[in-house]
Amino acid sequence: METIGIVTTWFNRGAAFVSKNFLDALKQDYIVEIYARGGEKYEQDDPMWNLPNVTWGKRCHNGVPTYIDWRDFKKWIYLKKPKFILFNEQQSWDIILRLKRSNIIIGAYIDYYTPTTVPFFNLYDFLICNTKRHMSVFGNHRQAFYFPWGTNIDLYKPSNLKKDDQITFFHSCGMSPYRKGTDLVITAFTRIKDPNIKLVIHTQVPLKSFFSDKKQLENKNITVIEKTVIPPGLYQLGDIYLYPSRLDGIGLTIAEALASGLPVITSDNGPMNEFVINEWNGYLIKIDHFHRRSDDYYWDECECNIDDLQRIIENIMIKKREIPMLKQNARKFAENYLDWGKNSRGLLEIFQKINKMPYDKELLLKVASFEYSKYPQILIKYAEEKAENIIRSI
């Protein structure tokens, strides 16, 4: 059997669960090896993550996001001999430059890019785009594939947990409260005086460090759960999922919530609105304005209209009787479009058809110039000389 290597962060967070889903889908036909990229965190004490096919990469503290130590990585390549390597959320180009002259077919799971770096993705032999929005940017790549996302609908499923008369809104912010609009959720919620409304927030980081007005978190109808929770998470605690996200690569929790039978209230902006049919399996919040991120990410952040978010929540409370139908529709959407067992078959087909593509030396030099000018700590003399050394070293 041929070997596929996946380079990824590897602990309890969304990106790692994406990689884990890839692992589960591909291991049917391939040997799959994980290179756990050093950086944010390791989970070597957790049997869910510390698997026999996982290599824990060397941790690098040079200030370069997702940087990979070449010697350590080269050793992994020598031992595992992958035919393909799929990079998940790889921002540092150094490792791609080093691999380009090898015989390994390299691909990217599309997540982070800027107007400057979009052309750089032609260094990859193939791209996997899991949303229409990503595909709209990379559709001209010679081997770009639109691969609709999904989730495990047998793991994430409606709960039979008995509820009281209250309507519970659930919000998960993981490790990114600001990006996922947690402040908007709390502000809108504290405006509503209905005693039968409840909010549960799940976070992996302390919320108090993100909010100047900490009194908002003292609302007796707001419950904050601060811990890491393994799948299927805490969706069973809610009736409706609140997710006024400012920016997302995919919005993984939207798919999980829908599969769990929770209608989703989210931003009327891509890719979030690719999953919600307004007033059928959830509600779309009007956008007030867009603004550029300081890191020049390709897509602007959106800011939901707080009054519209409040209006939607209050309207749901008025029309409580419609919630069971919204829940049914949420699950129906997941069964029809988000079943990972069905969608993942397309992933196997992708690896059966992709080929090694010729590289553009001029582009390689351009990317090298960009990378080593931005991060001089990995520069050796001059960018062009560094790139030439890389070419000769493989």
Task: Specify the DSSP element, H or E, that contains 379.
Answer: none
Question: For 167-338, CATH number?
Answer: 3.40.50.2000
In the predicted model, is pLDDT for residue 388 greater than 60? no
Mean pLDDT of 240-249: 96
pLDDT tens figures, 300-341:
999 999 999 999 999 999 999 999 999 999 999 999 999 998
% of the chain residues with pLDDT over 70: 92
Q: What mean pLDDT comes out for the span 12-39?
A: 90
pLDDT in tens, 77-113: 999 999 999 999 999 999 999 998 899 999 999 999 9
Q: What is the pLDDT of residue 196?
A: 87
pLDDT value at position 297? 95
Structure tokens at 46: 């957790």
Same fold, 3-150+344-393 and 167-338: yes
Domain positions in the chain are: 3-150+344-393, 167-338
* Closest residue by Cα to residue 271 from 244, 306, 295, 247: 247
Give the pLDDT confidence of 121-137 residue by residue, as tens digits.
999 999 999 999 999 99
pLDDT at 246 over 60: yes
Q: State residue 337's pLDDT score.
A: 95
- The sign one gets for the Cα dihedral 249, 253, 255, 256 is positive
Confidence band for 228, pLDDT divided at 50, 70 and 90: confident
Task: Tell me the pLDDT of the chain averaged across its residues.
Answer: 90
Res 31: pLDDT = 98
253 pLDDT more than 70: yes
250-197-214-244 Cα dihedral, nearest 10 degrees = 20
For 149-183, write each residue's pLDDT tens digit. 889 999 999 986 656 678 999 999 988 999 999 99
Q: What does the pLDDT read at residue 163? A: 60
CA 212 to CA 311: how far, in whole Å?
A: 25
Residue 128, exposed/middle/buried by CB under 10 A (0-12, 13-18, 19+)? buried
Identify the pLDDT of residue 387. 53
Which are the contacts of 336, defined by CB distance < 8 A and separation ≥ 6? Answer: none
> With 60 as the cut, is the pLDDT of residue 5 above it?
yes
Place of tokens 């884990």: 20
pLDDT at position 386 is 52
Residue 119 has a pLDDT of 97
What is the dotted CATH code of the domain comprising 3-150+344-393?
Answer: 3.40.50.720
